[in-house]
Structure 1
């Protein structure tokens, strides 16, 4: 159950961003093109996540990304990785906080409570922070319950929408160019960004063997892919490519189901909130561990850096939900693809001292897979500038 819960933390961390942004970003390309692009990116990010898990099991005291980077890439490599890691987590935290504030404002407004987005996401962040500081076991248990509820809500929505699926919508495509696909690929890439919690989870499951570590990462990656494809199928099949492409935020997506029963709108809103909360829990846990690992061992100072500073930044960038995911995608190429690749090249050298766990993990595929991973990262990186 501990390993299963860890897989759900991985999956939940990815789902918040992707589940809410993917329909708005991918609808313009149609379902078939979107599904193909998503599957390719899934393969690349999953293999890179396995590489990071390997590096974590073979390095000393890898409670956070900072320690893993130091023991594998040295002090300069650690500083470089830390800067990228903080940029990524800051962008993700801001995106989730903005989304949560928007949802709370909309949902409470429907029952007559006028709560501003700023007040909503401030109260939420401070309370969630107390749970994260209390320990990974509490995060695991809360996330497990929220994730299962979220999946139940997702399938309630999907089964309700399946009766209105228009198959002609699924073969629709808007007029788009290759550069349009490229421009938004970073957002899709970010939608599988659960790797930020891998150092925390490998430490949490320090007694796990090689097969268990591998399966934890694979299950945590496959669940978001299945959910994304099913959700995209339901949204595009009901609303059509042209309509979904015009949405700019989460509230508009939910409002589009106005023609459906009120119950469906409510379930979609609750599901969206749960998706954001599970992602927020995973990312904030990773950021808290990183702060404890790289900056201060004082829990109160780490709490302030993890939960109060992003609130200030979210207020400054309050209308940049999708943009923040786009920025995070660029940082993620270095951090989630090339970073783990460089770490694994180092730990596989004969002279590297592996002193972390009794059960270390080595990803299959050999040099060919490592080369493919480098090319995958290069394509994402270059294509972003082409967009």
Structure 2
């Protein structure tokens, strides 16, 4: 008899999907909003994104465990919405994998003494193998990586945390008194920092039970939120707000951020631990995001769950972002900012629409969509919290976040330059 997967393992997968983008993107994106408003922004985002993930579980429960966005959205919302949603899912997953591959190359080139391009290639070949193998393999490596991050976090970030200067943490000596306006431009990066939703179907298939998947999602987002708090407090308490200028000017690239952080760290051991932690954060997110994109594309292309079928899925998942990384490397924060705008479609808007349509069909006692796979709507075994108001809140949060990204892109929102 197979042992049921642990909630901790699933939580670590969800947390690992989140933390790469958040750990390396949030400090630069939140430099304008600084400590209190950054904490508010990521807490609000975590709550909304957890509920929207539960909404996906509610909509998915009528379907076979192997289905993903493609099947469910097409059935319930139609071909046009599904096509747009698919493009956004792949765009976000691809651009995040692209950002992680590029950042890994920048960090590993010094560790291995090779070019960043070769380092990126080796990174993909070695660590994408876990995704190709199975979700169970991703579970195992995710738990190890989270433990590894905690250890490097303790040795590295605790060194920073012990030296937190409250006047720096709360910018008491800064001339700036307005922080809230900068939080608007931070929201797209905050949303990406909890963008695990392409892994919801993987969690559901892994556990075979929506309630266990719900607990794993909540556990994962709480782990990520706790790590974000400690990370931001440690960085904002040591690196003055005025010194973020060079980091922001160079697109928030991970090597620039770590270099700036290194200038305020006296201990070489702490500096090495911070670099190790950053690498582990990128690796964990690369594997977690890779799993979500892998399962999504397997469903989209109807590739079989065989050795050769998984090779095909591996190719369409990892080769395009690797090629783009080698040809067009650019800023980490820029990449996840665009990802955040696009992710609002399938992390907020589509989950809300799916649940709205399913509940309307339930109330009328008719089939959801007209596809045989759905059968006749039945009373929900699992239901996300909240009624119409919660659906409107989740959808509105997504629309506002996307709007903030485009307003920021055109220079119509306050922009912090350091």
Scaled by the length of structure 1, what TM-score is found?
A: 0.92
Match of residue 411 from structure 2: none
Higher mean C-alpha displacement, 97-106 vs 48-57: 48-57
Contact 2:91 2:342 in 1 (8 A): yes
C-alpha displacement of 1:174: 6.8
The yes-or-no answer on 1:316 pairing with 2:316 is no
Cα distance in 1, alignment partners of residues 10 and 293 from structure 2: 17
Q: Unaligned stretches of 5+ in structure 1?
A: 109-113
Q: Deviations over 1:274-307 (max 9, x none)?
A: 1001100011111111221112513222221111
Contact 2:14 2:196 in 1 (8 A): yes
Contact 2:28 2:333 in 1 (8 A): no
1:359/1:5 CA distance change after superposition, 3 Å:
farther
Structure whose residues are more often helix by fraction = 1
Contact 2:156 2:269 in 1 (8 A): no
C-alpha displacement of 1:178: 6.2
The yes-or-no answer on 1:164 pairing with 2:163 is yes
1:1-387 to 2 correspondences below 5 Å: 1-108=5-112, 114-172=113-171, 175=176, 180-206=182-208, 208=209, 210=211, 212-247=212-247, 248-255=252-259, 256-258=261-263, 259-297=265-303, 298-348=309-359, 349-350=361-362, 351-352=366-367, 360-387=381-408
Cα distance in 1, alignment partners of residues 253 and 314 from structure 2: 29
1:294/1:104 CA distance change after superposition, 3 Å:
same
Higher mean C-alpha displacement, 184-193 vs 51-60: 51-60
Cα distance in 1, alignment partners of residues 354 and 58 from structure 2: 9
Contact 1:64 1:286 in 2 (8 A): no
Secondary structure in 1 matching 2:78: helix
Higher mean C-alpha displacement, 17-26 vs 376-385: 376-385
Cα distance in 2, alignment partners of residues 227 and 202 from structure 1: 25
Q: Unaligned stretches of 5+ in structure 2?
A: 304-308, 369-373, 409-418
Contact 2:52 2:352 in 1 (8 A): yes
1:241/1:183 CA distance change after superposition, 3 Å:
same
In the comparison of the two structures, how many residue pairs are matched? 380
1:34/1:238 CA distance change after superposition, 3 Å:
same
Q: Deviations over 1:84-122 (max 9, x none)?
A: 1111111111111111111111333xxxxx211110111
C-alpha displacement of 1:227: 0.8
Cα distance in 1, alignment partners of residues 266 and 255 from structure 2: 15
Cα distance in 1, alignment partners of residues 220 and 397 from structure 2: 21
Scaled by the length of structure 2, what TM-score is found?
A: 0.85
1:174/1:8 CA distance change after superposition, 3 Å:
farther
Secondary structure in 2 matching 1:28: coil
C-alpha displacement of 1:60: 3.4
C-alpha displacement of 1:316: 2.7
Secondary structure in 2 matching 1:246: helix
Contact 1:106 1:251 in 2 (8 A): no
C-alpha displacement of 1:163: 2.4
Cα distance in 1, alignment partners of residues 316 and 214 from structure 2: 32
Instruction: Give RMSD over aligned pairs.
Output: 2.2
Contact 1:330 1:384 in 2 (8 A): yes
Higher mean C-alpha displacement, 367-376 vs 225-234: 367-376
Match of residue 111 from structure 1: none
C-alpha displacement of 1:139: 1.0
Cα distance in 2, alignment partners of residues 271 and 352 from structure 1: 49
C-alpha displacement of 1:209: 5.2
